Copies of this chain bind each other. A is one copy, B any other.
Amino acid sequence: MADNLTEQKILEAATNVFQTKGMDGARMQEIADKAGINKAMLHYYYRSKQKLFEAVFKTAIAIMAPKLREIINKEEPLFDKIRNFTNGYISLINQHSYLPTFIIQELNRNPNILKDTFNKEFGNGFMKMRAQIEQMVKNGEIRPIAPEQLIMNVISMSIFPFVAKPILKSVLQKEDKDYQQLLEARKTHVADFIINAIKIQ
């Protein structure tokens, strides 16, 4: 995909514009300008705005999916899995900080885009994690907790600080640099916090 140089430049520019402005707010002219080529070329390579958008969205998913698949499918003790998930995911998003907002925004516009793909790819992994949590609760190895709530907590604390960056920066009265440090520290903080919440003392 995007083997040609021009095609590559278009995809990069489109990613940039779509991820900041969304599908509706994006302008083909701005994408062309950012790519340093003419508007007509966008249509030559991608036919329509819709198709170009889909290419960008697929690329975004392709960045997130392998890491998520790796973490979620690995067989390992729950605490290790929590550490790997939070650390791995926060690191990944740090390098692509617009991705979660972009994906969430477009999924709210059209909730069905991913449903099947997601279930097929990750449903199994998450259900295993669910069973793992349930079993540990039963064995008295961790505090009683609904597995779904724990999974929600893990994902929420990993991703939300990126999605709500403007709000949280304001709440915490931080500048960009300081906020960045807080995110960095979360790579270990989130797992520590969660494990403290569920482990038997």
Contacts and interface: CB of A to CB of B under 8 A. Distances in A.
Interface size range of chain A in the complex: 35 or more
Interface stretch (A33-41, A73-81, A114-122): A114-122
A49 interface: no
Contacts of A3: none
A143 B196 contact: yes
A41 to B, nearest CB: 24
Contacts of A145: 193
A125 B198 CA distance: 29
B153 A118 contact: no
A161 B182 CA distance: 22
Given A114-B167, A155-B171, 10 more contacts: A115-B166, A118-B170, A119-B173, A123-B173, A127-B173, A145-B193, A155-B168, A156-B164, A157-B157, A196-B197
A101 interface: yes
A83 interface: no
Contact of A146 (B24, B108, B123, B189): B189
Oligomer copy total:
2
Contacts of A174: 148
Contact of A171 (B122, B143, B164): B122
A185 B152 CA distance: 12
A173 B114 CA distance: 13
26 contacts: A21-B109, A22-B22, A22-B24, A22-B109, A24-B25, A25-B109, A103-B167, A107-B166, A108-B165, A111-B166, A114-B167, A119-B170, A119-B173, A123-B170, A126-B171, A126-B173, A148-B174, A149-B193, A152-B157, A152-B168, A152-B182, A155-B160, A155-B167, A159-B160, A160-B160, A163-B163
Contacts of A146: 182, 185, 189
A193 B153 contact: yes
Interface in A94-136: 101, 103-105, 107-109, 111, 114-115, 118-119, 122-123, 126-127
